[in-house]
Amino acid sequence: MPDEQAQLDTFPRLLAANAERLRERPAVREKDLGIWQTWTWGEVAVEVRTLACGLAALGFRRGDTLAIIGDNRPRLYWAMAAAQALGGVPVPLYQDAVANEMVYVFDDAEAQFAIVEDQEQVDKLIEILPRCPRLKHIVYDDPRGMRHYTQPQLLGYDELAERGRAFDAAHPDYYPGEVAKGQASDIGIMLYTSGTTGKPKGVCQMHSAFIISAQGGSGFDQLGPEDSILSYLPMAWVGDHLFSYAQWLVAGFTINCPESGDTMMTDLREIGPTYYFAPPRIFENLLTTVMIRMEDASAIKRALFHYFAGVARRCGAEIMDRKPAAFVDRLLYALGNVLIYGPLRNVLGMSRIRVAYTAGAAIGPDLFRFYRSIGVNLKQLYGSTETCAYVCLQPDGAVRFDTVGAPAPGVEVKIADNGEVLVRGPMLLKEYYKRPDATAESIDADGYFRTGDAGFFDDAGQLKIIDRAKDVGKLATGAMFAPNYIENKLKFFPHIKEAVAFGNGRDQVCALINIDMGSVGNWAERRAIPYSGYTDLAAKSEVYELIRECVEKVNSELAQEDALADSQVHRYLILHKELDADDDELTRTRKVRRGFVAEKYAVLIEALYSDQTECHIETQVKFEDGRTGIVRADVGIREARVFSPEQLKKAG
Amino acid sequence: MVQARNIGDVILKIDNISLAFGGVKALSEVSFDVREHEIRAIIGPNGAGKSSMLNVINGVYHPQHGSVTFKGITREQMRPHEAAKQGIARTFQNIALFKGMTVLDNIMTGRNLRMHRGFLAQAIWYGPALKEEIEHRRHVEQIIDFLQIESIRKTPVGRLPYGLQKRVELARALAAEPVMLLLDEPMAGMNVEEKQDMCRFILDVNDEFGTTIVLIEHDMGVVMDLSDRVVVLDYGRKIGDGTPDEVRDNQAVIDAYLGVQH
């Protein structure tokens, strides 16, 4: 029915349709006081209407922006729908951002309204109030600790809902009228880029962009009201907005909000989602937890686990892809499924998963294969804030660890002469907010968006991403230098949490390394190596040896790739502190700010390119409470063996 | 920005308490009072008699002289379970939790005094006993939410780091819905961040539930920030009493802490 389809072109209309079609089906769950509470689609529609009327009573009008800050709470998702229903623009912010970082977004987005989770966020907004004079209303969800606040801007959610009901009773036609005024081409959401370089930019997405992306994705993986997903990723991230909001409304499935960030694992098990999305680091953490606990298991269990992990490695991925496999292997795999894989999927909360996606960073081949081999249909996708996280998807049966899939339905992808990936389609951003210069720069005359990623299509027509185009440089020898590629290879080792490679314009590649405190800490404890904290552990010579093995393995792999043989890491050091978003070294999505790090640790980098074996450094650090302190350390510098292709051939 | 709390009348009056173990005088003629809703700190060098004082308040130790008046009832001797029934709960300097039990079960033990069904009914877990258990569980879940320990609900306490164990102990004390909470060094051995969390929780408990709090603490920064009034003990005697500022300027207190040549 084209008529009906045509009507469902904004999110508020989708919500109204779901409230009709799926009235009694669960839309949202949240765990409260240890018990999962459910709201049906019918109830959600009422909540959103009440909230929208409350905002309208406060003076929220078409075109206004509503800042949303907090963990994934049902009421915050409703706030998005409420703002959209009034023709406004929700702007989710990263909940762990410090007050100063928020000033920029509030200022840029000209937000007069904010709806936040709790006292923690309120405190930040009160701190920045003098610098954000436009901000007039702050609504908080959780009243705990708020009793003695007297700022006139503050209002509790329940009070707002009260006003909303009164407003709705007085103006019953207001809400439906505003929903009817909405256009598919209205700006539905503004998501700020993480700002790997420079200030964050507000990406304006139309209702139609996210709806088409969500429809494409839902059709691709046959998502429907039966599905359920755990919503735990930051609401300000495009991935969460696509999976927990756009697809939620389009496919009509259930979103589940965990109790808190720390309970994610337990909640995952209890909910058993059928559809799951996580950046690689989450899959990595899950696996690390399992491996550590496996080491503590009894000898029989350990032996069983390792035996069947071997079976899965050999044939699991083939069986998942329905490719031919030996009969004996199939039998063993079936047995392993009963004894190991099934229980393991259950522990991971992945028993019911039909489709799982990862994106946002490169995923280690071993990690990727592991999940697929135990029967979790993990796939990769590719996209960005500017493209609604919807550019490429891996189809079932054609999943490869080193590609990000084929272009999604309705998306055109081409490779520019310089290797940059260009995309075009309905999912593209309308503009960067108040930045016509940036908009013009990123979209070319033919309407193609420059992703800034360098990549190419492989033989099977799947896109392979190498690195950020602007990061790809040249060594002094003239060979290509793709730092991300090297860093990802290093980070695939569980002991290495973060790595930053340098080499552009230099004669060789050197690297700064962050060890993974959990993994290396556990390793050290098993070997009775005492340590007092990160700085101490990072300086241990045993740890340097451990990391050297990792670096040399990477070097031997790089040596086999003609174009990258010169990119082997000659010298490395282990940083004395963890790179941290609070110190501006990482973005809030935990990507390294390469330029900033290079500047901050210039002393260390110079030492890497000299023949020093040690370098003293003092670094200012910000603690979580906002105070600052100094970390001093003598950082050791070590050399790693590099390989020539001939050597590898000889070694066989 | 934040309004002052309403501090009420005297709820606990310590009158001329002397406590000796054989020849050792732990407390000598100590008198002070605690008002409703206030946060009262007891400070003093090691061995000053601070923990003994708490033990006198909740009836573990019985002083040879003096009396304790709680909620208008004066008594020379009180047993710990009587103190608990009247609404005095406490945490200990050395954590005293059931290490093998989960966080949830540990906190549930704090509800023990409020469970009225016989143990047989509770064991069968049927009818009224089940209803009662659900009611208690709801209360415990509210405390878990309040202290933000959802993620360790089912974890055995022995596996938790020290800072979290302290928080669980506070949770168990809160489960009894106390009128007065005695905290023995709630922040000992914690790092700065854990201390900040604990401070926030203590203030929240005081604020949200109106619980009167008596605490022993060595971190002077914490004491000065948190407490409304401070008692200073040294060698079992009271040498200072007043607001944090008054105590800070008291010469006897300065001498006791920094030491003077005799």
pLDDT for the residue numbered A196: 62
Is there a contact between B151 and A145 if contact means CB atoms under 8 Å apart?
Answer: no
C-beta separation of B212 from B34 below 8 A: yes
Q: Do A147 and B154 lie within an 8 Å CB cutoff? A: no
d(CA A567, CA A509): 6
List, in sequence order, the alpha helices (H) in A145-279: 157-170, 174-181, 207-220, 238-240, 247-251, 264-271
> Looking at the complex, does the CB of residue B54 fall below 8 Å from at least one CB of chain A?
no
Ramachandran angles phi, psi of B52, nearest 5°: -60, -40
Residue A648 is predicted with a pLDDT of: 67
Query: Where on the phi/psi map is residue A364: left (φ > 0), alpha (ψ -120 to 50), or beta?
Result: beta
Contact B141 A34 (CB under 8 A): yes
User: Rounded distance, CA B34 to CA B14, Å?
Assistant: 8
> Closest-CA residue in chain B for A265?
B151
Nearest CA in chain A to B141: A33
Measured CA to CA, the distance from residue B35 to residue A64 in angstroms comes to 50
Query: For chain B, how many helices (H) and strands (E)?
Result: 10, 10
Three-state secondary-structure class, residue A270: helix
Please state, in angstroms and rounded to a whole number, the distance separating the CA atoms of residues A522 and A519.
5
Cβ A571 vs Cβ A638: under 8 Å = yes
Q: Is B105 on the interface with A (CB under 8 A)?
A: no
Q: Are B160 and B168 in contact (CB under 8 A)?
A: yes
Burial A362-374 (b: 16+ CB within 10 A, else e): bbbeebbbbbbbb
Residues of A whose CB is below 8 A from B154: 266
Nearest to A213 by CA among A255, A257, A248, A254: A248
Q: Which of A145, A259, A260 sits opposite B204 (nearest CB)?
A: A145
Distance of alpha carbon A42 from the chain centroid: 31
The pLDDT of residue B256: 80
Question: Residue B49's CB: how many other CB atoms inside 10 A?
Answer: 24
Q: What is the pLDDT of residue A3?
A: 47
pLDDT on residue A164: 97
């920029």: which residue's tokens?
A104
Buried/exposed code over B187-207 (b: 16+ C-beta within 10 A; e: otherwise): bbebeeebbbbbbebbbebbb
Strand partners, B32: B14
A434 φ, ψ (degrees, to nearest 5):
55, 25
Q: Which of A145, A151, A259 sits opposite B150 (nearest CB)?
A: A259
CA distance A479 to chain B (A): 48
CB-CB neighbors (< 8 A) of B171 in chain A: none
Q: What is the pLDDT of residue A625?
A: 66
B106: its two tokens: 């540990």
Rounded to whole angstroms, the Cα distance separating A150 from B55 reads 40
Instruction: Report pLDDT for A493.
Output: 85
Q: In chain A, which stretches have pLDDT less than 50?
A: 1-4, 652
CB B98 within 8 A of CB B159: no
Triad A233, A99, B197: Cα angle to 5° = 75
CB contact under 8 A, A623 and B150: no
| CB-closest option in B151, B154, B193 to A624 | B193
Q: What is the pLDDT of residue A551?
A: 94
Of B151, B153, B193, the CB nearest to A625: B193
Residue of B nearest to A148 (CA): B2
Per-residue pLDDT 10s for chain B (262 aa) are 344 567 888 999 999 999 998 888 899 999 999 999 999 999 988 888 899 999 999 888 989 988 899 988 887 777 888 888 888 998 887 788 999 999 999 999 988 877 777 767 777 767 778 888 888 999 999 999 999 999 899 999 998 888 889 999 999 999 999 999 999 999 888 888 888 889 989 998 998 888 999 999 888 888 888 999 999 999 899 999 999 988 888 888 888 876 666 5
Q: Cα(A204)–Cα(A299) distance, rounded to whole angstroms?
A: 56
Set of chain A residues whose Cβ sits within 8 Å of the Cβ of B153: 34
Q: Evaluate whether A581 touches A90 at the Cβ level (below 8 Å).
A: no
Describe the strand order of the beta sheet including A431-432 as a list of residue ranges. A187-192, A202-206, A431-432
Q: Quote the CA–CA distance of A38 and A43 in Å, as a whole number.
A: 9
CB A16 within 8 Å of CB A10: no
**Contacts A–B by Cβ distance under 8 A:** 46
Separation of alpha carbons A525 and A537, rounded Å = 11
Minimum Cα–Cα distance from A31: chain B residue:
B150
Looking at the complex, report in whole angstroms how far the Cα of residue A304 sits from the nearest Cα belonging to chain B. Answer: 26
**Which site among B104, B133, B151 would you substitute to test the A interface, given the most A Cβ atoms closer than 10 Å to its Cβ?**
B151
Cα Rg of chain A, angstroms: 26
Sign of CA dihedral A573, A575, A581, A582: negative
pLDDT of residue B2: 42
Out of A148, A263, A624, the one facing B151 most closely (by C-beta) is A263
